[in-house]
Amino acid sequence: MPRDLVVGNGNLLICLDKYLHLRDLYYPHVGELNHVIGHYHRLGIYIDDQFAWMSYDEWDISPGYRPDTLVTESIALNQTLQVKLTVNDTVMPDKNVYLRRITVEDLSESETHREVRVFFCQDYYLYESDIGDTAFFDPHNNGIVHYKRRTYFLSSGLVNGQDGITDYSCGTKKFHGAEGTWKDAEDGELSQNPIAQGSVDSAMGFRGGICKTEPMVIDYWIVAGETLKEVRNIHQQVLATGCDTYFNQAESYWRNWVVSQVNLNLTELPPTLGSLFKRSLLTIRTQTDNNGAITAANDTDYFSFSKDTYSYMWPRDGAFVAFCLDQTGHQDLTRRFFRYCHRIFQEGYDPNPEIGAEQRAFFYHKYTPSGSVGSSWHSWITHDGVTILPIQEDETALILWSLWNHYQQYRDIEFVRNMYEDMIKPAANFLCFYRDSATGLPLPSYDLWEERLGTHTFTVAAVYAGLQAAANFATVFGDTANSLKFRDAAKHVKNAALEHLWCPEKQYFYRQINFDPDNGEVVGDDTLGSSTFALFFFELLPPDDPKMISNMTAIREKLWVKTDVGGIARYQNDYYHQISNETDTIPGNPWIVCTMWVCQWYIALAQHKEELTPALELLEWVSTVALPSGLLPEQLNPYTGEAISVAPLTWSHASFVTTVTMYLDKYKKISKRERLRNITQSRFENPVSSASFSSQGELY
């Protein structure tokens, strides 16, 4: 199940499902640790001797956000209970406090007050385990505390700004036949058990009344901290300040954050695209840790698929997201990201003295948010006496490419000065070294989809871009020898790419190639892959090169999903979460990232406004497949359009933002060119008036 709503502040991340249940709580890092790991912090209501958890089908739930903020506004209707709930969630930007407001309204024809009891159940797995947790009722703060080691969560709340918890219980869950304390709530009463340890959960209840003219407002919060003293102090701050103030502050902060650095004219877009653009930026912020890691996704329902998650920093994903954030002016986040990369790069050197420095200066497959090397399925193998490293070489190259873009945007030489010696130059030397001596192409590594070993067209283009970026940095720092070295290596990579990567029979570029060790001939994989877009994106070829046109036209025609859903697949016969074997119609599930790659090519190719129409149509396609809340998944069911795999995927949002900025930039350039052409034509046709016009200094 995708996560339909996410709120966070870079330390505390909350993910909610379509039933508005809290399913993931990450603290103190985004993506690490998840103290709920996909279980349920349930929400239930008891009224007129009837009880309903929010997950039952009798609820009609519409998850959503207040416009341009990280404050949710969801509506839940229950015709059986005759109630309407308006649910607002947020995390304070400057405090590790999750706030939830439930406004209960009466939909019945009753003329009298109806008693309502609302229950919140906490089901923690502190440090991602149910071993050794403690839950206790804190009478001094009228709240429930869960703790283990250096992590504390205090939950409390108010009714109509005054009365607090009226019912509570702490108990055992999923042990010795106990289902959990949440079952205790279903009769509208809790047992008031004050403490439990081991595998535990807790529940708290609030009581009040509603009628047609008087709703009931419950404010509930969770405070996160390292000590009991810390969470108690912050809890008292919430009480003293008031939830009205906190919600207003959060809403104002995020509305200003999302537009404060964006120097784009979003009015040139349809309103739905402008709204999705801002929602994407806000979503990216929730997935970015304050220590710099940009996580791929934080939807632990995927945990049941592979016993692992997407809660890692992939250098490739991070590089593309940082590129997007720099385009929109959010250098505060990208600086943290590049500092994080600098640190993990230095820590990742292989200590083996027999391996030269140029052979070990690379980024690994992925990293945890705190900076350690993440889990991997890339093996260390030796082929024909050559060690094949467990890496995706494009990831090392893309960090250099993205960092150069950052420098071009802000020209802060002090920021990159230390990185040149400690990261940029060693990584570039590695890219120079890790090449085939006969062809000049990169040696085999794993592809960007983490599936195949070989020399991949995407990787080749990324290495070319990384070497060009390193050469540019070397020039900036007066390192002439390395500037020439890196530029020469990039030239050889480009020449080799043009010689070996084109498939003349299919008239598009190979997805990857390998070399036959017996005769040295190229063995090309002619599976059509959308990732070959990289040849124009990283400027190895211009977008209007005949081969590039042929390649991208093939991708648009043959990888387009020919159902009502549409979208571009990763490659022909994509097996990952495959829904259909009808590969002529459905070459694979549609991916938002891949669809945006084609869109970017249309934008790069356009010289007139009408030539931007195909790009605009693909941008609008993204808005049609987004979740109702505006979150974007990784891929879609080709028949139903439902989200598959994780949601939200940070890269999906970043690819949309990047494409929008490219679209607006090209639209602006074309508009300027057309205005100048019209002025020139007008002067030619009316020389007298134009001479008078120019003499007034309005143009020159």
- The CATH code of the domain that includes 325 is 1.50.10.10
pLDDT at residue 383, rounded to an integer: 65
Say if residue 339 is in the same domain as residue 435: yes
Q: Among the three residues 258, 287, 307, which one is the final residue of a domain in this structure? A: 258
- Where in the sequence is the domain holding 59, given as residue range(s)? 7-258
**CA distance linking residue 499 with residue 92, whole number of Å:** 55
Number of domains in the chain: 2
**CA distance linking residue 412 with residue 416, whole number of Å:** 7
Mean pLDDT of 256-281: 92
**CA distance linking residue 612 with residue 659, whole number of Å:** 12
Say if residue 355 is in the same domain as residue 224: no
The separation between CA 487 and the C-alpha centre of its own chain, rounded to angstroms, equals 33
Say if residue 229 is in the same domain as residue 326: no
Say if residue 83 is in the same domain as residue 184: yes
Residue carrying structure tokens 């990384």: 466
Say if residue 204 is in the same domain as residue 73: yes
Is 294 part of a structural domain of the chain?
no
Say if residue 402 is in the same domain as residue 510: yes
- Give which of 648, 14, 35 is closest to 302, Cα–Cα: 648
Question: pLDDT at residue 361 above 50?
Answer: yes
Structure confidence at residue 426 as a pLDDT band (50, 70, 90): very high
Question: pLDDT at residue 304 above 70?
Answer: no
Mean pLDDT lowest for which of 282-286, 497-501, 647-651, 670-674? 670-674
Is 680 part of a structural domain of the chain?
no
Bridging pattern class, strands 445-446 and 386-388: unpaired
**Contact, 604 vs 536, CB < 8 A?**
yes
Say if residue 545 is in the same domain as residue 396: yes
pLDDT at residue 700, rounded to an integer: 23
The per-residue pLDDT for range 218-234, each reduced to its tens digit, is 999 999 999 999 999 99
Is 52 part of a structural domain of the chain?
yes
Say if residue 149 is in the same domain as residue 249: yes
Question: pLDDT at residue 275 above 90?
Answer: yes
Mean pLDDT of 411-432: 95
pLDDT at residue 694, rounded to an integer: 41
- Give which of 13, 69, 84, 74 is closest to 247, Cα–Cα: 69
Is 651 part of a structural domain of the chain?
no
The per-residue pLDDT for range 462-476, each reduced to its tens digit, is 999 999 999 999 999
Mean pLDDT of 19-43: 96
Structure confidence at residue 696 as a pLDDT band (50, 70, 90): very low
Structure confidence at residue 308 as a pLDDT band (50, 70, 90): confident
Mean pLDDT of 268-297: 97
- Mean residue pLDDT of the chain comes to 93
Is 175 part of a structural domain of the chain?
yes
Is 321 part of a structural domain of the chain?
yes
- Give which of 585, 600, 577, 574 is closest to 654, Cα–Cα: 600
Say if residue 342 is in the same domain as residue 451: yes
**CA distance linking residue 654 with residue 321, whole number of Å:** 5
**Contact, 94 vs 238, CB < 8 A?**
no
Say if residue 80 is in the same domain as residue 164: yes
The per-residue pLDDT for range 388-418, each reduced to its tens digit, is 889 999 999 999 999 999 999 999 999 999 9
User: Residue 51: helix, strand or coil by DSSP?
Assistant: strand
Structure confidence at residue 163 as a pLDDT band (50, 70, 90): confident
- The CATH code of the domain that includes 217 is 2.70.98.10
The per-residue pLDDT for range 616-626, each reduced to its tens digit, is 999 999 999 99
Mean pLDDT lowest for which of 30-39, 109-118, 399-408, 637-646? 109-118
Question: pLDDT at residue 355 above 80?
Answer: no
Is 699 part of a structural domain of the chain?
no
Q: Among the three residues 528, 551, 574, which one is the final residue of a domain in this structure? A: 551
The residue with greater pLDDT, 695 or 615, is: 615
The per-residue pLDDT for range 565-602, each reduced to its tens digit, is 999 999 999 999 999 999 999 999 999 999 999 999 99
Say if residue 223 is in the same domain as residue 338: no
Which of the residue ranges 137-146, 346-355, 510-519 has the most confident prediction, judged by mean pLDDT? 137-146
Structure confidence at residue 695 as a pLDDT band (50, 70, 90): very low
Q: Is the pTM of this model over 0.85?
A: yes
DSSP states along 260-271: HS----GGGS-H
Q: Among the three residues 258, 285, 307, which one is the final residue of a domain in this structure? A: 258
Is 359 part of a structural domain of the chain?
yes
**CA distance linking residue 576 with residue 588, whole number of Å:** 8
Say if residue 389 is in the same domain as residue 247: no
- Give which of 446, 418, 419 is closest to 434, Cα–Cα: 446
Structure confidence at residue 352 as a pLDDT band (50, 70, 90): low
Question: pLDDT at residue 536 above 90?
Answer: yes
